[in-house]
């Protein structure tokens, strides 16, 4: 219970606020410095075709290799990046780096993979985004078709007209738009009604319950049917077991992503996997060989 006196609460609050402000200012400086010093890196998580198990793409996931604190995950710095506006230059770095990676893979014969990039709502609506994307794919010598832009439903909190025209423009330019964490928030269906997206990523919370909870199976089945009716692809996120894979295959999910197949990996590791298990630029990960 809250039995602390008002006076004490206030002083605790003030002390917290003070450390908080101090720390967040330091972090903002660090974040900017991290970007300038090239301390960010991308790890790539394979996405596999649900029927064949073949790797069809990678999601680029941001990490910050801090010189003192080691590897820092997005949960610990994305909010700060968003509130300070640094998310746009950071997002630009992600776009540049991941399109160059597609180019490097192409050069070594890994040619049939797409790259999925997470974009914050703020960056997604930023006026320079379409130009920046085209600059990067031109420099990397790749097609827009290889690039998937992931947005979350938070984008629906922004001006709907602006979001719709942005999605239409990017779609006309050849980029695919994906709705990340589909079903997690409250505005999932607004997307489907208004936004011409190519795919939805079914949130991990539903996938993790598949097989344990018949309601989840029903919900996932309904999402997949709905997507099929609207001509959208579906990606199951956070697949951790063979059973979840089997159920998603039965339900007709298009692609899958999750620890069962692979964690997000560094480029070197992916290249080794292609060397070891790849056949003519195609890769079936060891775990995905277990087809039924």
Q: Does 61 bind ligand C2E (CB under 6 A)?
A: yes
Q: Which residues lie closer than 8 Å to 41 by C-beta, 6 or more apart? A: 62, 63, 64, 65, 266
279-286 long-range contacts, Cβ below 8 Å, gap at least 24?
280/109, 281/109, 281/110, 281/111, 281/112, 282/54, 282/55, 282/112, 283/46, 283/54, 283/55, 283/110, 284/48, 284/52, 284/53, 284/54, 284/55, 285/46, 285/48, 285/53, 285/55, 285/261
- Measured from the CB of residue 285, what is the shortest distance to ligand C2E in angstroms? 13
Stretch that binds ligand C2E, among 10-18, 100-108, 192-200, 251-259 (CB under 6 A): 251-259
Residue 5 Cβ vs ligand C2E, minimum distance, rounded to whole Å: 40
Count of residues for the chain? 292
Question: Which residue stretch of 21-29, 136-144, 226-234, 253-261 sits at the interface with ligand C2E (rule: CB under 6 A)?
Answer: 253-261
Residues 142-171 that bind ligand C2E (CB under 6 A): 150
Residue in 50, 56, 94, 247 binding ligand C2E, rule: CB under 6 A: 94
Q: How far is the CB of 286 from Mg ion (least distance, A)?
A: 24
Residues 22-51 interacting with ligand C2E (rule: CB under 6 A)? 45
Q: How far is the CB of 3 from ligand C2E (least distance, A)?
A: 37
Q: Which is closer to Mg ion, CB of 92 or CB of 150? A: 150
> In terms of CB distance, is 135 or 287 closer to ligand C2E?
287
Asked if 73 is part of the footprint of ligand C2E (rule: CB under 6 A), the reply reads yes
Burial class (CB in 10 A: 0-12, 13-18, 19+), 49: middle
Which residues have a Cβ under 8 Å from the Cβ of 149 and sit 6 or more positions away?
A: 116, 117, 119, 124, 170, 175, 176, 177, 178
Contacts of 265-268 with C-beta under 8 Å, sequence gap 24+, read: 265/43, 265/44, 265/45, 265/46, 266/41, 266/43, 266/44, 267/42, 267/44, 267/101, 267/104
Q: Is residue 62 at the binding interface for ligand C2E, with CB under 6 A as the rule?
A: yes
From the list 47, 99, 120, 234, which residue makes contact with ligand C2E (rule: CB under 6 A)? 120
Residue 264 within binding range of ligand C2E, rule CB under 6 A: yes
Cβ(77)–Cβ(29) below 8 Å: no
CB of 96 to ligand C2E, least distance (A): 12
Binding residues for Mg ion restricted to 152-191, rule: CB under 5 A: 180-181
Report if residue 244 touches ligand C2E, rule: CB under 6 A.
no
- Shortest Å, Cβ 139 to ligand C2E: 19
**Using CB under 6 A, which of 134, 190, 240, 269 touches ligand C2E?**
240
**Using the rule CB under 6 A, is 259 a contact of ligand C2E?**
yes
Residues contacting 128, CB < 8 A, separation 6+: none
Binding site partner of 45, from ligand C2E, Mg ion, none, Cβ cut-off 5-8 A by kind: ligand C2E
Q: Which residues bind ligand C2E (CB under 6 A)?
A: 45, 61-62, 73-75, 78, 87, 91, 94, 118-120, 150, 180-181, 238-240, 257-259, 264
Sites of contact with Mg ion (CB under 5 A)? 118, 150, 180-181, 237
């Amino acid at each position: 219970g809250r039995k602390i006196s008002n006076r004490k609460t206030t002083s605790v609050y003030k002390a917290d606020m003070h450390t908080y402000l101090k720390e967040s200012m330091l972090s903002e400086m660090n974040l900017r410095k991290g970007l300038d010093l090239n301390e960010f890196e991308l790890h790539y998580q394979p996405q596999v075709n649900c029927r064949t198990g073949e790797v069809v793409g990678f999601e680029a996931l941001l990490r910050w290799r801090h010189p003192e604190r080691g590897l820092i995950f997005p949960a610990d710095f994305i909010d700060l990046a968003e509130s300070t506006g640094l998310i746009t230059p950071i997002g630009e770095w992600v776009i540049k780096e991941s399109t160059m990676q597609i180019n490097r893979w192409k050069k070594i014969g890994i040619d049939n993979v797409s790259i999925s990039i997470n974009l914050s709502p703020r960056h997604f609506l930023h006026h320079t985004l379409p130009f920046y994307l085209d600059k990067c794919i031109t420099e990397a010598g790749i097609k827009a078709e290889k690039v998937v832009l992931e947005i979350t439903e938070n984008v629906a909190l922004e001006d709907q007209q602006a979001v719709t025209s942005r999605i239409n423009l990017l779609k006309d330019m050849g980029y695919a738009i994906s709705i990340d964490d589909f079903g997690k928030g409250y505005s999932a269906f607004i997307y489907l009604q208004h936004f011409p997206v190519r795919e939805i990523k079914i949130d991990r919370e539903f996938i993790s319950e598949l097989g344990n909870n018949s309601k989840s199976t029903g919900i996932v089945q309904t999402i997949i049917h709905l997507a099929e009716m609207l001509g959208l692809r579906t990606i199951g996120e956070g697949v951790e077991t063979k059973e979840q894979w089997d159920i998603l295959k039965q339900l007709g999910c298009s692609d899958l992503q999750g620890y069962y197949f692979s964690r997000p990996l560094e480029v070197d590791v992916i290249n080794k996997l292609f060397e070891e298990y790849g056949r003519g630029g195609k890769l079936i990960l060891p775990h995905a060989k277990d087809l039924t």
